[in-house]
């Protein structure tokens, strides 16, 4: 391989609603308020293990605007992320702690977190996937050039206008990825 050639495929994952259970209020998802409220969704550890065994770099890309809003201390968000890294085979967790008013490049639907991962972890975005449960996740993946999965949780909010795949869980997305990328 040549100098500077990108070599790794990745699966980018939103955190709350994809790997961990969100807190629900009026059919809208919210992040856990403490590490004690962190709960993995069914099938997540197994799905991540098979993706990791297949050679994928696993990167969580998560918006946590409650940090900017002052309703969640940065230390709590960091502790939740560290706990996930300790129990799951993740290569990285990249977090945007801004709100929409900050107009940053890292807050999804902007693709900044995915592009940062590309630079830091040598990832080929065109050979990678973004899995999310909200339109912002899917749109960030689309803007970055990844294939996209929308996990439809029936939230009371608009669904993405376009996704490559619509699934009901991370486990279902993992099966599709493994089948799609299986050697002939």
Active site residues: 14, 16
* CA trace torsion 137, 32, 40, 92 (10° rounding): 60
Cα–Cα distance measured from residue 27 to residue 184, given in angstroms and rounded to the nearest whole number: 42
Edge-to-edge strands, sheet with 147-151:
92-96, 57-63, 10-13, 129-132, 147-151, 165-167
Residues in Cβ contact with 69 at an 8 Å cutoff, skipping those fewer than 6 apart: 99
Q: Which residue has the tokens 């080929």?
A: 124
Question: Cβ distance 104 to 67 under 8 Å?
Answer: no
3-state secondary structure of 125: helix
- Contact assessment for residue 80 and residue 35, using Cβ atoms and an 8 Å cutoff: yes
**151 by DSSP, 3-state: which?**
strand
* Largest interatomic CA distance in the chain: 52
State the Rg of the chain over Cα: 15
């Amino acid at each position: 391989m040549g100098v500077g050639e990108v070599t790794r495929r990745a699966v980018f994952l939103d955190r709350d609603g994809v790997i961990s259970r969100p807190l629900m209020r009026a059919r809208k998802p919210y992040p856990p308020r403490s590490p004690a409220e962190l709960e993995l969704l069914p099938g997540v550890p197994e799905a991540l293990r098979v993706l990791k065994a297949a050679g994928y770099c696993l990167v969580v890309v998560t918006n946590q605007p409650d940090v900017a809003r002052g309703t969640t201390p940065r230390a709590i968000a960091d502790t939740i992320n560290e706990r996930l890294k300790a129990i799951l085979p993740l290569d990285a967790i990249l977090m945007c702690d801004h709100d929409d008013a900050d107009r940053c490049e890292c807050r999804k639907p902007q693709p900044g977190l995915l592009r940062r991962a590309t630079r830091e972890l040598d990832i080929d975005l065109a050979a990678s996937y973004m899995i999310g449960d909200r339109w912002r996740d899917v749109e960030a993946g689309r803007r970055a050039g990844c294939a996209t999965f929308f996990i439809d949780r029936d939230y009371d909010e608009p669904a993405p206008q376009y996704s490559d795949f619509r699934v009901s869980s991370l486990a279902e997305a993992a099966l599709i990825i493994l089948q799609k990328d299986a050697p002939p």
